[in-house]
Amino acid sequence: MAVTVNKPDILIGEDDAVLRSLYEKKFTLEGMAVRTAEDGEQAIRMLQEKAPDILLLDIHMPKADGFQVLKEFPKATRTFPVIMLTNFDQSEFKLRAMELGADDYFVKKDMTMRTLLEMVKRLLKL
């Protein structure tokens, strides 16, 4: 009898195609089921269709930014953690993200994929 292992479902909202592809490859190699959205509106639709185990969310995206997506899914009512992704290490962005219920904050230029993977695993309790 085969034992099925549920892969963690990760949704990545990222408008940069190169980064989106990089994240998708890395998390797939780590044994996760990856879904991607290229803008905030698509991320909202995908979240409404199926809640992920974790959401990685870029702040600056077309159609709806990461803050707007967070507002649609308040921490008190959602079932998944959120890591905000940004190129900008500005304290007001981090403060706003945390006020809106982000669980962690990842500055792309200062961090490595390993750091992001560790954040994801910690929040998923893997």
Which domains occur in the chain, in start order? 9-124 (3.40.50.2300)
**Pairwise CA distance, residues 21 & 53, whole Å:** 19
* Average pLDDT score, the chain: 92
Which DSSP category does 7 fall into? P
Q: Closest Cα partner for 46 from 57, 34, 56, 36? A: 36
Amino acid 83 reads I
End-to-end CA distance of the chain: 25
pLDDT tens by residue, 91-117: 899 999 999 999 999 998 888 889 999
Edge to edge, the sheet with strand 33-37 lists 33-37, 9-13, 54-58, 82-86, 104-107
Give every residue of the chain whose pLDDT is below 70, as ranges: 1-5
pTM of the model: 0.92
> What are the residues whose beta carbons fall under 8 Å from the beta carbon of 91, sequence distance 6 or more?
none
> What are the residues whose beta carbons fall under 8 Å from the beta carbon of 126, sequence distance 6 or more?
8, 120
**CA distances, 89 to each of 12, 21, 61, 110 (Å):** 20, 23, 16, 9
Q: Residue 1: what pLDDT? A: 55
Q: Residue 87: what pLDDT? A: 85
